[in-house]
A and B are shown apart, each in its own frame.
Chain A
Amino acid sequence: MADRAMPHVKTGRVTLDHGGGGRASRELVHRYFLPRFLNKILEKMDDSAVVDFPGRRLAMTTDSYVVDPIFFPGGDIGALAVNGTVNDLSAQGASPLFLSAAFILEEGFEIRDLEIVLGSMASAAREAGVSIVTGDTKVVPKGKGDKIYINTTGIGLIEEGIYVSGTGARPGDAVILTGSIGDHGIAVLSRREGLNFDTDLKSDSAPLNGLVREILSTTDGIHTMRDPTRGGVAATLNEIATQSGVGIRIDEAAIPVKDGVRSACEILGLDPLYVANEGKLLVILDSRDASGVLEKIRLNRYGRDGRIIGEVVADHPGRVVMRTRAGGTRIIDMPLGEQLPRIC
């Protein structure tokens, strides 16, 4: 096949699309990382790895944070680094306990900014009830990094009887979304160089372990939970549909999107379904439990706008389909790579 037919992986170089959370990211991981590190735990490809210890199940996850800009409305890279890892553990049904934090700092990074970032990490950890128990700091020469990168690894404990996984969705299940989508992605874009727009939005960055605890205490019918970060709700639902071998149907009218997100998306030519979130959960559960769990979710400060947005079906396995407001249907595909503003 001509080289040009595979512009993303056969390039011999990493492109930004490989970090976008879409098809290109997935291909990079499946082609280069998985074959080399593969084992029974990793192959599940869930948000956290679940490790059996005699009598206990531990969940472990790691993530690196390279957001640009590092400060944005509603948060910063520090809050994100704690909340993101807490949420990956929570989505696995684990109670987060310990975090490690590793920093790569660029020479010349201002100590004042470092202090702000560390302050946010400390308060995010406090709110989530986790301890940062180990860490590392490296400094790279100016230009070899971009201000600050943070990696956090988290460990949590899964209670007896809780089994949630990306492979757990079954036909007939309901799909709950815990709030409005796209707030984080748009808040970050609004501070990015060259785009030149302002928004009254704030990032939704938040720790979701409290919300998850309440959800899990309501029923044992929770099959899958995921936090729709990079690639947005579209990418996450596609992952679940693929991993569980089911179809997913959602209803456009049921999906909460704030006016500020919608308007920015209109102007930049983006689709909110593909924009990142940092404080939302998708919950897939036995439909009999849906209304009870939703009630509980809506009592939590991070779930007030929660809705049932769709259902799991046996048709079109691996595919996500949306009923539009206009009464038609459309396929919600896996995003390709980074979402780019467009004029046409």
Chain B
Amino acid sequence: MEYIDRYRDPESIERLVAQIRAISRKQAKLMEVCGTHTVTIGRNGIREILPRHISLISGPGCPVCVTPVEAIDRAVALAQKQDVTIATFGDLIRVPGSETTLLRQRGEGADIRIVYSAYDALHLAQEDGGRQVVFLGIGFETTAPTVAAVIRRAKETGVRNFAVLSMHKVLPPALMALVESPQLGIDGFICPGHVTTIIGIEPYETIADDFHVPCVVAGFEPLDVLEAVGLLVRQIEMGEARVEIQYRRGVSPDGNPKARAVMEEVFEPCDSVWRGFGLLPKSGLRISDSYADFDATRKYEIAPVNPREPEGCICGDILRGLRQPPDCPLFQTTCRPDSPVGACMVSSEGTCAAYYKYYRR
């Protein structure tokens, strides 16, 4: 733990905050794109130790939050099939679909297992050839290559009772949708460290160069996030807009080409619906034809779903950074972690859940 603790040292934190205070003059609205940053900020109380004129808002970087109701409905439809075992990351199990959640389906008798890695799902299939295992593939470019690698392994080893329901998304189209939005009032992006580990920094260059918004790729410890805030503030004060990497121990500028290669071999881009953004062209990943046998949407008949989006929920504006959770009429009243209406309340790192947990007064 000493390895991690070095990035949590209270004295260094204090020093860094003092430096930020010393150089910061202008109002700065910074968006942390990634939900894991949201958690770091909340857990450590980072908003409160920063000067008041620096505000941190949470963006579209929680895969659970941006997964639309219809995707959950399809997962539920699969879970209801007789001999299908669903394997999923724990994150997804409480996300509300139109009518129900996977957790409730488990109560109804569906076989739903929580796994930590897509490999654990493949092993489930290999251990019991009589079960059809469907893994729910969710996540951005950090997670998609891990699932791609497992699908490739399944094909190589001739496993026939394993498939993936791909709900994967890629981040750059959502970022572009954000910066192209005329209402956007964001002065800098805290870019997601581990997505960048895979995709490299190239996608952010347009944002900095063409839209003149500074971008800093940040790690996930308190000192990482604070240093990224400091670097953004420095750019803002100097009127610059560049891409910087704060998280140099975890990111190479050109990313991880090997991971991208397997992702591109197994998946292909497709148009995809994001909760809060609607349909974004080429923002999703579907399983390519050469791996069609492992595509749950082609392997199983999934009855057409009729998604019912929750009424009154402003998740869409929250994910765009236009409004904050307290602006939502449902927040804390009908929408709470134990009775989520929108997906921003579902994941522990969703903007609304984080607000509810850490900042509710």
Contacts and interface: CB of A to CB of B under 8 A. Distances in A.
Direct contact of A and B (CB under 8 A): yes
A7 B45 contact: no
Contacts of B255: none
Contact of A194 (B47, B115, B338): B115
Interface string B104-125: 1011100001111100100010
Contacts of A262: 1
B161 interface: no
B43 interface: yes
Contacts of A27: 338
Contacts of A266: 1, 4
B103 A329 contact: no
B255 to A, nearest CB: 19
B44 A325 contact: yes
Interface string A33-71: 000000000000000000000000000000000000000
Interface in B45-87: 45-49, 62-64
Given A4-B99, A342-B348, A343-B116, A24 B338 contact: yes
B341 A5 contact: yes
B104 A13 contact: yes
Contact of A341 (B63, B116, B357): B116
Contacts of A324: 43-45
A330 to B, nearest CB: 5
B198 to A, nearest CB: 14
Interface stretch (B89-97, B150-158, B206-214, B265-273): B89-97
Q: Is the interface of A mostly helix, strand, loop or mixed?
A: loop
Contacts of A2: 310
B338 A326 contact: no
Interface residues of A, number: 46
Interface string A164-181: 000000000000000000
B19 interface: no
Interface in A289-344: 323-331, 333, 336-337, 340-344
Interface in A1-20: 1-8, 11, 13-17
B106 A16 contact: yes
B358 A331 contact: yes
A343 B97 CA distance: 20
Interface string B327-361: 00000001101111100000111000000111110
A333 B17 CA distance: 27
B46 A326 contact: yes
Nearest to B69: A4
Given A11-B107, A16-B103, A331-B360, A344 B1 contact: no
16 contacts: A3-B99, A4-B100, A7-B340, A11-B107, A13-B108, A15-B107, A259-B1, A323-B45, A326-B49, A328-B47, A330-B45, A330-B357, A331-B357, A336-B337, A341-B90, A342-B348
B325 interface: no
A331 B360 CA distance: 8
A11 B8 CA distance: 42
B203 interface: no
Contacts of B43: 271, 324, 330
Nearest to B40: A326
Contacts, number: 141
B196 interface: no
Contacts of B10: 253, 325-327
A13 B107 contact: yes
B139 interface: yes
Interface of A: 1-8, 11, 13-17, 23-24, 27, 194-197, 253, 259, 262-263, 266, 268-269, 271, 323-331, 333, 336-337, 340-344
A6 B90 contact: no
A329 B48 contact: yes
A262 B1 CA distance: 7
B19 to A, nearest CB: 15
B13 A23 contact: no
A271 B349 CA distance: 13
Contacts of A194: 113-116, 120, 124
B79 to A, nearest CB: 14
B101 A343 contact: no
Contacts of A8: 338-339
Contacts of B89: 341-344
Contact of A343 (B46, B91, B341, B356): B91
A1 B339 CA distance: 11
A231 to B, nearest CB: 13
A216 B1 CA distance: 37
A209 B97 CA distance: 48
**10 tightest CB-CB pairs across the interface, nearest first?**
A328-B45, A340-B90, A13-B107, A326-B44, A324-B45, A328-B48, A259-B1, A342-B91, A15-B107, A23-B338
A210 to B, nearest CB: 32
B222 A326 contact: yes
A261 B164 CA distance: 33
Contacts of A325: 8, 10, 44
A344 B96 contact: no
B46 A328 contact: yes
A82 to B, nearest CB: 30
Contacts of B360: 331, 333
A254 B160 CA distance: 53
A323 B10 CA distance: 12
A153 B334 CA distance: 39
A17 B97 CA distance: 18
Given A13-B104, A13-B108, A330-B357, 14 more contacts: A7-B94, A15-B106, A17-B103, A326-B13, A326-B49, A328-B46, A328-B49, A329-B45, A329-B48, A331-B359, A333-B356, A336-B338, A341-B89, A343-B90
